[in-house]
Structure 1
Amino acid sequence: MRFSTRCFYVALVLSVLLLGSAPKPLHAQSAARPNVVFILADDLGYREMGAFGQELIKTPNLDRLAAEGMRLTQHYSGNAVCAPSRCVLMTGKHPGHAFVRNNRESKPEGQHPIPDSEITLAELMKRAGYATGAFGKWGLGGPATDGRPLNQGVDRFFGYNCQRHAHSYYPSYLWDNEQRIALSNDPEIPGHGSLAKDADPNDPRSYDEFKGTDYAPDRINAQVLQFIRDHKSEPFFLYYPTVIPHVALHVPDEELQPYRDLGWNDPPFTRDDGYGYTPHFTPRAAYAAMITRLDRYVGNVLNELDKQGLTENTLVVFSSDNGTTHLDKEVDYLFFKSVGELRGLKGSLYEGGVRVPTLAKWPGRIAAGSASDRVSGFEDWMPTLMEVVDPKADLPEGIDGISLLPTLLGQQQPERPYLYREFSGYGGQQSLRMGDWKAVRQNMTRGNLTVELYNIAEDISESKDVASEHPDLVAKMTKMMSEVRTPSDDFPLIPLDAPVKDAKK
């Protein structure tokens, strides 16, 4: 309980008393097929909401979602950065089999596209007779590629196609299906920029040039709510990959001011070294305000479901695509204790980079105020959600996901045999979770194949490498890390898929 706020637990107890904790059996649900809403935050750390221990940032709606549903305390994102993590979520394949295994921009706009042959969760939902919508940041293929949303099972898309474009919260345009629509930001506020050469970094007015008028997340949230209204009479799958709280630090002043009033010692982020996104006079307040803004959007979704009478028949899932950014001058993760006692941040396969705060609510099926520490990952959502909407559906061959529906329903479920992650970026990395044990490799691009070993149950901070004490286990897990993956020509994991060209790089 030391990582949760008193208010959260008061709300949790009240919710259990009011709603009851005993879930209904799945077969007892109404004839109407359940809707599915999957909300994906961008770079939200493991302890950046109240329900997971945050004490400085207000997240009342997410805390309500936790109190009315289940917290998954050992859930892992698909990967350590945006695009490959989303690929795992959408295709049900772990990073050793997924098509996209790292971020890679594709000019003129978009990321390395998933091919037409990949079968996405949206496509399966559509085959099952669900209306499908995606709102926010796509990142799996540019507007003219096979990876674009409308070619991957999405009926309605609104938001950013490209991750780089999404660095600005005040862009000049967004995508409405396959048409660009103009926003009232003239000029567009860049995602990367510096103060004017003659600007005084101690004058708050110097930062006004990074404020826009048409906040893209507001536009996106409005379209999410409209999608719910438009499809209230039919089953729908709503995928809401928000852009918050990924930097740049862009947030309307009305959300910012309450945090500025707290009087935090909040040194400006000036970007004087030319590195990072855009400057902000009060970066701590801005980051907290962005997460609270995200929380408000989640509240809007929950309230709209209530308003339309859909709450009882809707499964809502909330998670994050990876851990908190490592850009500490913009996001003071030590001040916020963003990943708590976990080691690592975004870009790392240590726990802080990939263990993500995850919630699931389904009234009458998922017990209110419940929690599970069963190890699970993004690849598990495809079989889980399809079991919810169409248990007889044929799943794609070669997926790695295991349905966690029994866990959500409060039933006993065997632990996962293993959870594998690889990431060719940030020096090249592998990890394998097997029970309480976790094997990790770092700096593989330099030819390092040494395996570290941690007992997560006893050492959640991954501070004590016990590999030398368990040579047989290390040998077993090392062998598994080679056997459970296939090579990738597009995203080779050096030196397993290609030789080390320059060990000094």
Structure 2
Amino acid sequence: MDNYSHFFYWDGPNRHDLWRNGVEIQEAGKFFPDMMVDEAGKFMAENRDKPFFMYWAINNPHYPLQGKKKWLDYYKNLPSPRDKYAASISTMDENIGDLLKKLDQLGLRENTIIVFQSDQGFSREDRTFGGGGSAGDYRGSKFSLFEGGVRVPAIISWQKHIPANQVRTQVSTNVDWFPTLAAYCNIKMPARKVDGVSLVPIINSNDAKTNHPVFNWQSGGGNANPQWSVLDGDWKLLHNPLESTKAELTPEGYFLVNLKDDPSEKANVADKHPEIVQRLLVTHKAWLEEVFTQ
């Protein structure tokens, strides 16, 4: 959605797409992320005297890359598309800061758990001018199951309850937030099985074991030739990974890597370790059967 006209542009027909509680509203010219800060601030003010949960899915830095003018000016000397992506990121940072200021003004900061969760790697799509973001040393971007597509930032903050300025490297995923927040809020989890596992032990200690010694992904490609990967400790087996070349995959489409030895996923070692390929293939098939029979 365009942040100023609030029209949704894709293949057409294009349409106005701004709503509040199911009612279409007309606010042409207002910057949508600023509107999100205002709406969220009103919600928190109205609910300041009782427990609340707010899922605030800010749209930056998703395309269209429409950063505020002051940030576009600030980054004007960067090459394109880095300039536009950087402006979008700084606009997002500023909007998040504005929302946290509202939390401070309401006197709720110490009694509010804040989670920041990115959903995927940066985009290389045409609508982001082919890139602008960076995954550092990691390979891959949005849609890819290489580390650059799935290893993304997450932050949790709760003043006087969670240690500040700590870093954790254990494997975790966004579904872990549900049981984590439930644990902090003393809310009983449902009896049925959920995919996530509480991160509280890991947040409390860097020595805690990962919740996910084995983890599976599958995305895209249809039923005939899907993209999937399975992580088991340092070993990761990928099938048909996006942003790979046919020449570097096995005839079956496999790419095996040891992330400890090769965190940038540059070399396929599937031919050197066929027994590991087979073991992880069995793991993946067992996971698929569990998913589709639940």
Using a 3 Å threshold, how does the CA distance of structure 1 residues 165 and 486 change in structure 2: closer, same or farther? farther
Distance 1:455 1:250 in 2: 39
Using a 3 Å threshold, how does the CA distance of structure 1 residues 341 and 294 change in structure 2: closer, same or farther? same
Distance 1:378 1:216 in 2: 25
Using a 3 Å threshold, how does the CA distance of structure 1 residues 370 and 166 change in structure 2: closer, same or farther? farther
The answer for the alignment partner of 1:152 in structure 2 is none
- Contact conserved, 1:318 with 1:358, CA < 8 A, in 2? yes
Specify which structure has the bigger relative contact order, considering alpha-carbon pairs within 8 angstroms and separated by 6 or more residues.
Answer: 1
Distance 2:280 2:274 in 1: 10
The answer for the alignment partner of 1:457 in structure 2 is 260
Distance 2:252 2:176 in 1: 28
Aligned counterpart for 1:352 among listed residues 118, 132, 148: 148
The answer for the alignment partner of 1:122 in structure 2 is none
What is the 5 A alignment of 1:403-442?
403-410=198-205, 412-415=207-210, 416-425=212-221, 428-442=226-240
TM-score normalised by structure 1 residue count: 0.50
- Contact conserved, 1:284 with 1:332, CA < 8 A, in 2? no
Aligned counterpart for 2:25 among listed residues 164, 181, 191: 181
The answer for the alignment partner of 1:392 in structure 2 is 188
Letter in 2 for 1:420: N
Distance 2:43 2:185 in 1: 19
What is the 5 A alignment of 1:104-119?
none
Distance 1:181 1:425 in 2: 38
Using a 3 Å threshold, how does the CA distance of structure 1 residues 410 and 301 change in structure 2: closer, same or farther? farther
The answer for the alignment partner of 1:165 in structure 2 is 8
- Contact conserved, 2:64 with 2:127, CA < 8 A, in 1? no
Deviations 1:267-302 (A, max 9, x none): xxxxxxxxxxxxxxxx43222111111001111122
Using a 3 Å threshold, how does the CA distance of structure 1 residues 401 and 298 change in structure 2: closer, same or farther? same
Aligned counterpart for 2:74 among listed residues 231, 239, 258: 258
- Contact conserved, 2:237 with 2:257, CA < 8 A, in 1? yes
- Contact conserved, 1:173 with 1:182, CA < 8 A, in 2? no
The answer for the alignment partner of 1:498 in structure 2 is none
Distance 2:158 2:68 in 1: 32
1:372 aligns with 2:168: yes
After TM superposition, give the deviation of residue 313 of structure 1 in Å: 1.7
Show structure 2 runs of 5+ residues with no match: 1-5
Using a 3 Å threshold, how does the CA distance of structure 1 residues 264 and 400 change in structure 2: closer, same or farther? closer
- Contact conserved, 2:120 with 2:149, CA < 8 A, in 1? yes
Deviations 1:439-465 (A, max 9, x none): 111169x9x744321111221111122
TM-score normalised by structure 2 residue count: 0.83
The answer for the alignment partner of 1:89 in structure 2 is none
Using a 3 Å threshold, how does the CA distance of structure 1 residues 409 and 313 change in structure 2: closer, same or farther? farther
Aligned counterpart for 2:110 among listed residues 305, 309, 312: 312
Instruction: Give the match's secondary structure for 1:454.
Output: strand
Show structure 1 runs of 5+ residues with no match: 1-159, 185-212, 267-282, 490-505
The answer for the alignment partner of 2:283 in structure 1 is 480
Deviations 1:459-488 (A, max 9, x none): 111112222232222211100101112499
Instruction: Give the match's secondary structure for 1:422.
Output: strand
Letter in 2 for 1:403: S
After TM superposition, give the deviation of residue 400 of structure 1 in Å: 1.6
- Contact conserved, 1:325 with 1:331, CA < 8 A, in 2? no
Percent sequence identity over aligned pairs? 32
Distance 1:485 1:387 in 2: 29
Using a 3 Å threshold, how does the CA distance of structure 1 residues 412 and 474 change in structure 2: closer, same or farther? same
Instruction: Give the match's secondary structure for 1:453.
Output: strand
